[in-house]
Structure 1
Amino acid sequence: MKIIYSDKHAQHDPQSFFVRGVKQRSAEQPERAERLLAAAKGAGHEIVGAKAHGTAPAETVHTPEYIDFLKTIARDWAKLPNASVEVMPNVHPARYPATYPKALAGRAGWHQVDLACPIGPHTWDAALAASESAATATDLVLDGAHEAYALCRPPGHHAYADMAGGFCFLNNTAIAAQRLRQKHQRVAVLDVDVHHGNGTQGIFFERDDVLTISIHADPDNYYPYFWGHAHETGVGKGHGFNLNLPLPLGSGDAPWLAAGDKALARIRDFAPTVLVVALGLDASESDPLQGLKVTGAGFHAMAGKIASLGLPTVLVQEGGYLSDDLGRNLVQFLSGFEKGRS
């Protein structure tokens, strides 16, 4: 399988992350991508560099104001007196109608939904490269490849059209899905990350041409908390075209794979001609975020089920944090996918 990768990801190295009010080093570290790359190489997969696309792919799912914010905020923030190295919001707008602010602190609060997405001096460069990796993998599939894997970092599925959150800035999964619409009337997105793909859901929530499905730890007690519940099924034209399959915390292979069967049944009913998989590996039993307890065999089995759909597929890397099993779980998934194709 072709693995699309850019080493520009390493330019984003967030230092700040808050857990129950305590500041610590972010779990979303450059070493994540390095381990995944090494594992893919070791398994014999072909590594392909991301092609330059600029902001065009991101512009198909993100607002102009948001892209401008990501491009400029670190530079402008650094000019403020006594400013932190990383852009961190200290105020957020209320849920009632609000006016877009001019002040940098206000813009940060408008566009950064939480404290898990600090923006450093080169965050934009890394996020843009991740979006280009997703676009490059998508183009391979548009040109006839059966599958391609975009090793994106930073991840993207928590990013809305105009908000960063949960380690995510540009929504690589949504970018891939929208790009596939160039040739495909119906696109399905299946998110198997331990966290709900709330940004992807938000981007397509009112549409019936992109089916979004997410299997994740129950947000009643897990990030992103406010989104990812079973009653969120889409609105307007999109009603019925979003499916959330939350699982109790600590669920293992059996319930996870059973949720996969429900997801695949809905995908078959939708009858898409192409698929995007938001490949989070943080559902692993050894992941430090400890939401679910999926084994390497579970990843292998889920991949085989997905491959049995027989659809051209873009795999987009989402979560999956530092553990001894991280690279092995990727190899298990890719192996299961290729086996399911045969």
Structure 2
Amino acid sequence: MKAFWNPVQARHAPQFFLQRGTVKRNFEVPARAEALLAACRDMRMDVTAPPAADRLALGAVHPADYLDFLRDGPAAWEALPEKGPELVPNIHPSPEMLANGARPSGTIVGQVGWYTADTSCPIAAATWPAAEAAAAGAIAAADEAAAGRHAYALARPPGHHA
């Protein structure tokens, strides 16, 4: 059985996690994937890096503006004065704003609030390459399954896809 994993995924290492108003260290760390990877190897899975995912495949799951935000957001965030090390929202559109036709902001602070659901999965420069590699693994595993073969995609960051 093939297991798909790209080591670039280990570079996503968020530090921030807000739980009930308390800042904590994030539990979604590279060690989680290392443990799963060790288990794959213990089971003698064929661990391999998936081929790169093309933008068309990614766009079949997520809108282009969201993918652009994940790719370009960290650089825009880095240009802010007095910012934290990771993209974490401090504002989200309210139901009233959405009902009145709110649209994504042109500013990175507004975009972080628009494109993230909460504060539990901060974004950093290593997030996009990791997420892109994780998506590639999911696509490769799906291709294997479609061909009638068993496969496993080890994905970091897992996000809501876990």
* TM-score, with structure 2 as normaliser: 0.92
CA distance in 1, matches of 2:103, 2:155: 33
CA distance in 2, matches of 1:154, 1:99: 26
Match of 2:139 among 135, 154, 157: 135
Q: Spell out, residue by residue over 1:221-269, the C-alpha distance to the aligned partner (whole angstroms, 9 max, x if none).
A: xxxxxxxxxxxxxxxxxxxxxxxxxxxxxxxxxxxxxxxxxxxxxxxxx
Tell me the equivalent position of 1:73. 73
Structure 2 residue identity aligned to 1:115:
T
Compute the displacement of 1:111 (Å).
0.6
Structure 2 residue identity aligned to 1:60:
A
Tell me the equivalent position of 1:85. 85
Tell me the equivalent position of 2:39. 39
- What is the number of equivalent residue pairs in this alignment? 158
Match of 1:151 among 150, 154, 157: 154
Provide runs of 4+ in structure 1 moved above 3 Å.
Answer: none
Say if 1:54 and 1:128, in contact at 8 Å, map to a contact too. no
Q: Which has the larger radius of gyration?
A: 1
Structure 2 residue identity aligned to 1:8:
V
Say if 1:4 and 1:49, in contact at 8 Å, map to a contact too. yes
Structure 1 vs Structure 2 CA RMSD: 1.3
- Go from structure 1 to structure 2 and tell me whether the alpha carbon gap of 1:19 and 1:64 turns closer, same or farther (over 3 Å shift): same
Structure 2 residue identity aligned to 1:149:
Y
Structure 2 residue identity aligned to 1:120:
A
CA distance in 2, matches of 1:120, 1:53: 20
Tell me the equivalent position of 2:23. 23
Pairing of 1:277-316 with structure 2 (within 5 A): none
- Go from structure 1 to structure 2 and tell me whether the alpha carbon gap of 1:153 and 1:25 turns closer, same or farther (over 3 Å shift): same
Tell me the equivalent position of 1:125. 129
Pairing of 1:172-183 with structure 2 (within 5 A): none
Structure 2 residue identity aligned to 1:128:
E
Compute the displacement of 1:124 (Å).
0.5
User: What are the ranges of 5 or more consecutive residues in structure 1 without an aligned counterpart?
Assistant: 159-170, 172-317, 319-342
Q: Identity over aligned residues, as a percent?
A: 38
Compute the displacement of 1:45 (Å).
1.6
Tell me the equivalent position of 1:113. 117
Structure of greater relative contact order (alpha carbons < 8 Å, 6+ residues apart): 2
Structure 2 residue identity aligned to 1:147:
H
- Go from structure 1 to structure 2 and tell me whether the alpha carbon gap of 1:80 and 1:141 turns closer, same or farther (over 3 Å shift): same
CA distance in 1, matches of 2:103, 2:40: 46
Structure 1 residue identity aligned to 2:45:
H
* TM-score, with structure 1 as normaliser: 0.45
User: What are the ranges of 5 or more consecutive residues in structure 2 without an aligned counterpart?
Assistant: none
Tell me the equivalent position of 1:252. none
CA distance in 1, matches of 2:69, 2:44: 39
Compute the displacement of 1:145 (Å).
3.1
CA distance in 1, matches of 2:81, 2:17: 23
Structure 1 residue identity aligned to 2:132:
L
SS in structure 2 of the partner of residue 149 of structure 1: strand
Structure 1 residue identity aligned to 2:109:
A
SS in structure 1 of the partner of residue 152 of structure 2: strand
